[in-house]
Amino acid sequence: MDLRDLYQDIIVDHNRNPRNFRTIAGAVRLAEGYNPLCGDKLVVYAQVVDGRVEDVSFVGSGCAISTASASLMTEAVKGKTVAEAEALFTDMHELLTGKSVGDPERLGKLAALAGVKDYPARVKCATLSWHTLNAALHGEQTPVRTE
């Protein structure tokens, strides 16, 4: 299996079975993201305790790339400090806009999305969850009641 097939498998898997696809009740930060070019819509929830992302999740609907990207994002930032999450956001943004290939060691499975940079129309699908996370992390802590 070459790297491209492996990356494809990761995206398919995370789209079919998204990780952390749920809301978080309690004191959380959240933000809504919308990509009008494709119709991707999601809400990212982040529970931050002492500067660390204790829990992070998302709900919403979108294309395979946006769902897989959001799923991979939650796995990647969970347990990280807010500063580390922001550094990953920068890395992902550079990777997806082709400014840099990023550090494969640090990006791990997130590198599966690298191929998106060859499809400019899809870049916003892949960056949506990251922009939304960033907005959530900089938002106020809000008490959220969920179903």
Question: Can you give the binding site for Zn ion, defined by CB under 5 A?
Answer: 38, 40, 63, 66, 125
Find the shortest distance in angstroms from Cβ 31 to Zn ion: 18
DSSP-assigned letters across all residues of 73-141: HHHHHTTSBHHHHHHHHHHHHHHHTTS----HHHHGGGGGGGGGGG-HHHHHHHHHHHHHHHHHHTS--
Q: Do 111 and 104 contact (CB within 8 A), yes or no?
A: yes
For Zn ion, the closer CB: 53 or 130? 130
For Zn ion, the closer CB: 40 or 91? 40
Find the shortest distance in angstroms from Cβ 121 to Zn ion: 9
The token pair at 139 is 């938002």
Map residue 103 onto helix, strand or coil. Answer: coil
The token pair at 137 is 């992390």
For Zn ion, the closer CB: 20 or 66? 66
Find the shortest distance in angstroms from Cβ 15 to Zn ion: 11
For Zn ion, the closer CB: 41 or 80? 41
Find the shortest distance in angstroms from Cβ 112 to Zn ion: 16
The token pair at 19 is 């990780």
